[in-house]
Amino acid sequence: MNTTLYLIRHCQAIGQKPDAALTAAGIIQAEQVALCLGDVGINHIVSSPFARAVQSIEPLAHRLRLEIATDSRLQERVLGDGDLPNWRECLRETFDDLDLRFPGGESSREAMQRASTAVQDALRTHTASTIALISHGNLSTLLLKLFDASIGFSTWENMATPDIFCIRLSAAGATITRLWHPDR
């Protein structure tokens, strides 16, 4: 069976905390996401429970008359405890060494396994052939890496807020197409 996943990075938000809402620009972006994906046949939506992720997909869910299932396994990856002053370099290192784990955080491999189980459960428990997954930049990049090992830090660096990737799964494997562009 062929399945299509639309992986969506949330729209612009006022912060990084779980309850951080979308900015005014983010609300407009969420409407643009709904226009972009409104006619691609999405029949199931699974989102990170973080407010910015749910709010990013609400206009599409409303348009398609679909409920938003939330799954904590799609929430953003924690790189480490507290503020890492050189967090960007730390993040790069975790893409180079998938098992590198900073105190209080999870390794890339652990985050990928967590996200993979969320995707597998969505594929197994729903008859939907076209699923929207809404997550965050770091975890979205790691989700893409599950389907294409060449994806890494530079993909994360070039990811927009929001961003949309189409992942087509078939017996032959996966193909990934970026649908959103920063100049949109």
Structure confidence by residue, pLDDT tens digits, 49-73: 999 999 999 999 999 999 999 999 9
Report if residue 15 sits inside a domain.
yes
Task: Indicate whether 1 pLDDT > 90.
Answer: no
Report if residue 84 sits inside a domain.
no
Report if residue 183 sits inside a domain.
no
Please state which of the ranges 31-40, 79-88, 101-110 shows the lowest mean pLDDT.
Answer: 79-88
**Are the CB atoms for 93 and 68 separated by under 8 Å?**
no
User: How far is it, in rounded angstroms, from Cα 39 to Cα 61?
Assistant: 12
What is the predicted pLDDT for the residue at 123?
Answer: 87
Report if residue 83 sits inside a domain.
no
152-180 pLDDT per residue, tens: 999 999 999 999 999 999 888 999 999 98
What is the predicted pLDDT for the residue at 83?
Answer: 79
CATH number at residue 68: 3.40.50.1240
Average pLDDT over residues 12-39: 96
The CA–CA distances, whole Å, from 102 to 28, 81, 86, 107 equal: 36, 8, 12, 7
**Residue corresponding to tokens 């078939």:** 170
Q: Identify the domain containing residue 13 by its residue range.
A: 3-78+108-178
109-164 pLDDT per residue, tens: 999 999 999 999 998 877 768 999 999 999 999 999 999 999 999 999 999 999 99
Task: Indicate whether 181 pLDDT > 90.
Answer: no
**Are the CB atoms for 133 and 44 separated by under 8 Å?**
no
Average pLDDT over residues 7-12: 98
Task: Indicate whether 182 pLDDT > 70.
Answer: no
Task: Indicate whether 184 pLDDT > 60.
Answer: no
Q: Give the type of residue at 105.
A: G
Q: Is the pTM of this model over 0.85?
A: yes
Report if residue 102 sits inside a domain.
no
Count up the domains in the chain and report the number. 1
User: How far is it, in rounded angstroms, from Cα 71 to Cα 87?
Assistant: 26
Q: Residue 85: pLDDT band by 50, 70, 90 thresholds? A: confident
Report if residue 130 sits inside a domain.
yes
